[in-house]
Each structure stands twice: as structure tokens, then as C-alpha cells.
Amino acid sequence: MTKIYYILFSFGLFFTVLSCGNSESDFTAEVENAGDSHITVTQTQFDSSAFELGKAVSLDFPQSIRVFGKSHLPEKNKYVATTMISGIVGSINLIEGQSVRKGQVLFSIQNPELITMQEDYLVYKNKLPLLKEEMARQEEMFKANITSKKDLLASQMLYSETLSRLASLEEKFKVYGINIQKISNQNLVSRVYVTSPMSGFVSEINIHQGMHLDASTQAMLIAGTEDLHLELDVLEKDAMKLRHGQKVIFYVQNNMDQPLQAVVDVIKPEVNESHMVSIHCDILDKKGVLSGMYVVADLDLGDTKALSLPEEAVVKSEGKSYVLKLIEKNNNGYHFERVMIQDPVLFEKRYSISELDSSAQYLLQGAYFMM
């Protein structure tokens, strides 16, 4: 038994209808039995329907391995913001997730002891020249046998002690972020400002305004994004295909239409219990990529020659892909075989197809309307 399909051609478009009649303007494709895999088209129908035949073309197609993983931020890119002096937390104008730049103020700490420390610093600073003069005077008097060695040692000890206290306060002020050049009787500060040591974003905030914060207590967690990278898992069987500097195209799961680039930086020299090899990749384009995102990645294996057909020659139906291969051309018309193909790969509007015959001809245009 033979099935007949009628496909009307009008205004350059094909419309498929089922019919039991035949006319001069109808396009008739005869589909033979044998699993409906053979199709016949007359010469007149072929010419009037703008069909096109052609052979498969050998082209360079990029080869890749599809792998999965996550974006990851190393621990070295995380900084615990704290204070070296206890006190009351001042204003906080940040929220979690907010971007910060290096040197930006995160929060302030107020402590009245800072005033006392600065007062002591000014006293020691003013006394130091006088103590130095007194020590020199005692040395001269000791040489002239006017004073005792005990008095000389006492003046030297007092000068050294004052110098040490002054140096100690200067180091503390440096840690607190207080500029010693600006300390004066008219300019004493009661608060210090904690700044970000890196550019990134605020990952955690553990303080609030008005609370008492002890020294060295974690106040905030700042995460830098400079070393954000990919951690991917590759099957053991593909491990020999990995190389340093290998190009990677990846997609974040919330935006699979936007390809991003990375390169393989580290290949872990071991296979884990899941028979996978872990690799680290430097991300070249971090736009929209956050730490902890799941990604799909293609590892570039270079180009390989493959037979191909244009995108229009491949018809997909019910999850399967087909092409029409010319079996014979005779007085009855063109005889095609519908060939199912496995996993065609699309690149620049052409499909790489392993089942193609380099000597055969295929229907390049109009295949969609024949099935």
C-alpha cells in the first residue's frame, strides 16, 4: 500500500494538507512503505518547488567536552574586617551584597581611651627634647666629676623610657588609622575608622550601630572577586585531553544564552572516588558571575574535519533528526531515503553529521516539507 501526501505551493510557502484528489497545481510526494522511509518526487514537482540537491561538504568543526561545575572564590580572597581596639560601633552605611572599593570606610569605633592615649602622646613628645638635653647635661657633668654616675644613668633611663612609650603609641595609632601628624591639643579624635583592604563585596555583617565590639571580633566579611574561578569535574576517560591554557566556553545556569570565556589554569593530578578529575579555570569575563553559581562548560579540543550539511537540510521530529538522501533519479522523478542521524552538531548554520556519505547527494532545501 502507498501513502500519498499533498503539499500545496502558494506565494513561496508550503502548506501540508491531506487530500484524496490531484490537480496540476498540487505538489505530490509519494511515500512508499518500508517504514515510510522512501519518498518520491516528480521532476515537475522538484523544479516548481525550489528544491535543491547537493553533496556533503567537509569543513573544520570545533570539538569539545561538556563538563559541569561551580564558580568558586578562594579563601585568600576573603577578609575578616575587625578592629584592633574595643569600643562602640558608630554608623554603618552598608548592606550585605553591596560592592566596596579598597580603602572605603566600612564602619567606625568610638572609644574615650583614644583621647587619653593622644594626650599621653603629646606629653611624651613635648618632654622628649627636654629629657634629651638633660641627659646631655648629665653626661657633661659626669665627665667633669660634678655629678654621680647614678644621676647620669637615671637621666638616660628616663629618656629611653619616654622614647619607647612615644614609639609604642605611634605604632598603635598607625594600626588604628590615626595620622600622628595631625594630633594636637586642638585636634584629638575619639573614634577610628575601619576600611576595606580590597575591592569586592560585603559577604557578612555581624554588627549593628551602638553595640560594643571587642577587639579582634569579626565585624564583617569582605569577599574579593579578583580571583573568582571555575572548579570543573572532568570524566576520567577524558583526562588525557586536558592541557594548561585550554580554552573554555561556559554558561551560568540562569543565562544559558550568554557564552563566557575562561582558560584552564590548574589540573589536579589525581582521580577522585567518583572517577573525576578536578580542574581550575581562570575566568576571563566575570560579568554576571557570582561565587557558588552552577555552570555548564565546553572544553575546547581544537578543530576536526567532518562532513556537513546546511541547517535547512536537517529535519527534527519527535526528538529525532533526519536528512533526505537521494537514492535514484529516473523518469519517475527523484527517489529519496529518509536517514535518521545521531547527535548532529550545529556550528555556523551547518550540521556536522557522522552518517553522511561523501559521494551521495542530499536534499539541501525543502526537506522540512517532505516529511
pLDDT of residue 253: 82
pLDDT of residue 237: 92
How far are the Cα atoms of 6, 23, 167 from residue 11, in angstroms, in the given order? 16, 17, 93
pLDDT of residue 36: 63
Rounded to an integer, what distance in angstroms lies between the CA atom of residue 188 and that of residue 186?
6
Rounded to an integer, what distance in angstroms lies between the CA atom of residue 59 and that of residue 307?
6
Instruction: List the Cα angle 172/82/199 in 5-degree steps.
Output: 105
How far are the Cα atoms of 64, 120, 163, 164, 184 from residue 159, in angstroms, in the given order? 74, 15, 6, 9, 22
Scanning 199-308, the segments in alpha helix (DSSP H) are: none
Take residue 364 and report the three cell numbers written for it: 539541501
pLDDT of residue 18: 33
Give the residue extent of every domain in the chain. 3-57+307-370, 64-74+227-303, 75-111+190-224, 113-182
Q: Can you give the pLDDT of all 371 residues of the chain as single tens digits?
A: 333 333 333 333 333 333 333 443 445 555 444 446 888 888 888 888 888 999 999 988 888 889 999 999 888 888 899 888 999 999 888 999 899 999 999 999 999 999 999 999 999 999 999 999 999 998 989 888 888 899 889 999 999 999 999 999 999 999 888 988 988 888 898 889 999 988 889 989 999 999 999 988 899 999 887 788 999 999 999 999 999 999 999 999 888 888 999 999 999 999 999 999 999 999 998 888 888 899 999 999 888 888 999 999 999 888 889 999 999 999 888 999 999 998 888 888 999 898 899 999 999 988 887 76
Contact by Cβ (8 Å): 350, 314:
no
pLDDT of residue 324: 93
Q: What is the dihedral of CA 18, 23, 29, 31, to 10 degrees?
A: 60
Q: How many residues does the chain have?
A: 371
Would you say the CATH fold of 75-111+190-224 matches that of 64-74+227-303? no
pLDDT of residue 277: 95
What is the dotted CATH code of the domain comprising 75-111+190-224?
Answer: 2.40.50.100
pLDDT of residue 200: 87
Contact by Cβ (8 Å): 59, 305:
yes
Pairing of the two strands 105-110 and 78-81: unpaired
**Rg, Å, the chain Cα set:** 40
Scanning the chain, the segments in alpha helix (DSSP H) are: 43-48, 113-143, 149-176
Rounded to an integer, what distance in angstroms lies between the CA atom of residue 297 and that of residue 71?
11
pLDDT of residue 147: 84
The CATH number corresponding to 64-74+227-303 among 3.30.110.60, 1.10.10.60, 2.40.30.170, 3.20.20.60 equals 2.40.30.170
Strand partners, 329: 334
